[in-house]
């Protein structure tokens, strides 16, 4: 939330459950980031497990760019992950900084978390304010039933809207991944067809040369 490294590590052949457990031991993530585009299925699944947004760069980060971002990191795998996180942070830095400088009395990191999930700052404050009011209401039992139902309906609609947005985002990510695989498959088939055509052309050229050589041999014999 503040552009500072919390934890870094590298493990071989981790399962989804292992990685979820490790991340959860550090806190609740607000975003999962990757350094390649389109995002690998493994990364998309981790984001889905935590019900948070996935940051995917417009293009895969180049090695030189990652080395520049993580110049003090020797392990290439940790450096790649760090670079992905830094790119995600920089992409939202202005928004996070604006929230940090605001005069809200609410817990700012919670507002940032909701904003990173796609809510506006106003929506985030509304959600958190209603949660606080609900805690008080549950303790004091002084809220009018009509107002409570209206607020709960608003929260329900906001939650429903967020769930739909996340589902759409995951679908777009999956579609983008499939389109990229299809593009590569078509490119591969095009290359194979071109290679087959070239082979046929060369075979025809060889056949014509053989005929030409045979004619030359016959003419020599006639002489």
80 and 65 within one domain: yes
Q: Which of 41, 67, 101 is the last residue of a domain?
A: 101
**Does the structure show a pLDDT above 90 at 107?**
no
Q: What is the pLDDT of residues 142-185, one digit of tens each?
A: 545 555 566 666 666 666 666 666 666 776 776 777 777 777 77
175 within a domain of the structure (yes/no): no
Residue 14 domain flag: yes
**Cα atoms in the 13 Å half-sphere on the side-chain side of 36:** 11
Lowest mean pLDDT among 1-5, 28-32, 156-160: 156-160
pLDDT for position 194 = 73
Question: Looking at the structure, do residues 78 and 114 belong to the same domain, yes or no?
Answer: no
| Pairwise CA distance, residues 122 & 119, whole Å | 8
Residue 57 to residue 72: CA distance in whole angstroms? 22
Are 148 and 125 in a shared domain?
Answer: yes
Q: Residue 78 falls within a domain, yes or no?
A: yes
Q: How far apart are CA 198 and CA 172, in angstroms?
A: 39
Strands (E), 8-99: 31-33, 53-55
The answer to whether residue 217 scores a pLDDT higher than 90 is no
3 state DSSP class of 114: helix
What pLDDT score does 32 carry? Answer: 95
Structural domain contains residue 183: no
Q: In a 3-state reduction of DSSP, which class is residue 70?
A: coil
Are residues 73 and 2 located together in one domain of the fold? yes
Of the ranges 66-75, 127-136, 142-151, 175-184, the best mean pLDDT one: 66-75
State the total domains in the chain. 3
Q: Do residues 63 and 7 share a domain? A: yes
Q: What is the pLDDT of residue 78?
A: 95
Average pLDDT on 23-30 reads: 92
Do 156 and 207 belong together in one domain?
A: no
For residue 179, being part of any structural domain is answered with: no
120 and 156: one domain? yes
Same domain, 5 and 96: yes
Q: List the domain range (segments joined by +) for residue 220.
A: 192-223
Task: Specify whether the CB–CB gap between 53 and 47 falls below 8 A.
Answer: yes
Contact criterion met (CB below 8 Å) for 46 and 79? no
Are residues 85 and 158 both part of a single domain?
Answer: no
Lowest mean pLDDT segment, chosen from 9-18, 23-32, 66-75, 157-166: 157-166
Looking at 77, 101, 125, which one is the last position of a domain? 101
Residue 27 lies in a domain: yes
Spatial neighbors of 134 by CB under 8 A, at least 6 apart, are 151
Residue 143 falls inside a structural domain:
yes
End position of a domain, from candidates 82, 101, 120: 101
Read off the pLDDT of each residue in 111-115 and give the average, rounded to a whole number. 91
């Amino acid at each position: 939330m503040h552009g500072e490294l919390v934890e870094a590590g590298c493990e071989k052949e981790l399962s989804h459950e292992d990685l979820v457990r490790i991340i959860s031991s550090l806190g609740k993530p607000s975003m999962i980031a990757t350094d390649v585009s389109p995002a690998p299925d493994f990364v998309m699944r981790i984001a889905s497990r935590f019900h948070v947004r996935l940051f995917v760069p417009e293009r895969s980060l180049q090695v030189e760019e990652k080395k520049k971002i993580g110049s003090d990191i020797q392990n290439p795998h940790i450096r790649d992950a760090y670079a992905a996180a830094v790119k995600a942070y920089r992409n939202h830095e202005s928004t996070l900084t604006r929230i940090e400088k605001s005069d809200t009395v609410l817990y700012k990191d919670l507002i940032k978390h909701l904003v990173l999930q796609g809510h506006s700052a106003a929506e985030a404050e509304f959600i958190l304010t209603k949660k606080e009011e609900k805690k008080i209401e549950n303790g004091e039992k002084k809220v009018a039933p009509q107002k409570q139902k209206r607020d709960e309906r608003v929260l329900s609609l906001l939650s429903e809207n967020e769930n739909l947005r996340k589902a759409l985002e995951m679908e777009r990510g999956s579609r983008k991944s499939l389109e990229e695989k299809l593009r590569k498959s078509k490119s591969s088939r095009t290359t194979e067809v071109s290679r087959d055509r070239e082979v046929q052309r060369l075979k025809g050229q060889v056949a014509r040369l053989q005929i030409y050589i045979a004619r030359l041999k016959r003419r020599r014999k006639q002489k």
